[in-house]
């Protein structure tokens, strides 16, 4: 009887560990197009003319953020080094979203660096 109880206990433990690992790995990588800005200016800085200001703010301790093209959502980034050198750039990041905070795996520059408006949007 003790062997059965220990076996069930071990099995339950392994299942619990497996479920916890799956939840932690559940953050699916997604691609987000947007502008690299600083947390102080955020969406106001989602354009190429803000590059120098974003660099100065980052050097002064402000965190870099990604401002999405779609809806201008501001994403905090937990691995700041991934965005260094991209201040004020229009980029596509491949990242895992963990409740609004991104872990950036890859940053690709987009060709359109002159405007945060999409062509043909009438704005």
> For the segment 59-72, what is each residue's pLDDT rounded down to a tens digit?
999 999 999 999 99
pTM: 0.69
- Asked if 47 and 35 touch (Cβ cutoff 8 Å), the reply is yes
pLDDT at 2: 80
Q: What is the mean pLDDT of the segment spanning 40-61?
A: 90
Which domains are delineated in the chain? Answer: 29-109 (2.40.50)
Across 8-12, 21-25, 77-81, 98-102, least confident range: 21-25
- Asked if 62 and 40 touch (Cβ cutoff 8 Å), the reply is yes
Q: What is the mean pLDDT of the segment spanning 20-39?
A: 77
- How does residue 115 score in pLDDT terms, banded at 50, 70 and 90? low
For residue 47, is pLDDT > 60? yes
For residue 104, is pLDDT > 90? yes
- Asked if 11 and 81 touch (Cβ cutoff 8 Å), the reply is no
DSSP bridge pairs for 30? 95
Q: Return d(Cα 53, Cα 14) in angstroms, integer.
A: 51
Which has the higher per-residue pLDDT, 40 or 18? Answer: 40
Q: What is the mean pLDDT of the segment spanning 89-102?
A: 93
Q: What is the mean pLDDT of the segment spanning 5-34?
A: 67
Nearest 5°: phi and psi at 95?
-150, 160
Nearest to 104 by CA among 93, 117, 112: 93
């Amino acid at each position: 009887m003790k062997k059965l109880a220990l076996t069930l206990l071990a099995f339950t433990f392994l299942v619990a560990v497996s479920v916890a690992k799956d939840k932690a790995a559940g953050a699916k990588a997604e691609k987000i197009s947007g502008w690299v800005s600083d947390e102080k200016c955020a969406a106001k800085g989602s354009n190429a003319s803000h590059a120098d200001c974003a660099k100065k703010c980052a050097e002064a301790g402000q965190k870099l953020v990604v401002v999405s093209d779609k809806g201008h959502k501001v994403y905090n980034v937990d691995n700041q080094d991934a965005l260094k050198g991209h201040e004020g750039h229009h980029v596509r990041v491949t990242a895992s979203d963990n409740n609004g905070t991104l872990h950036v795996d890859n940053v690709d520059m987009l060709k359109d660096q002159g405007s945060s408006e999409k062509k043909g949007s009438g704005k």
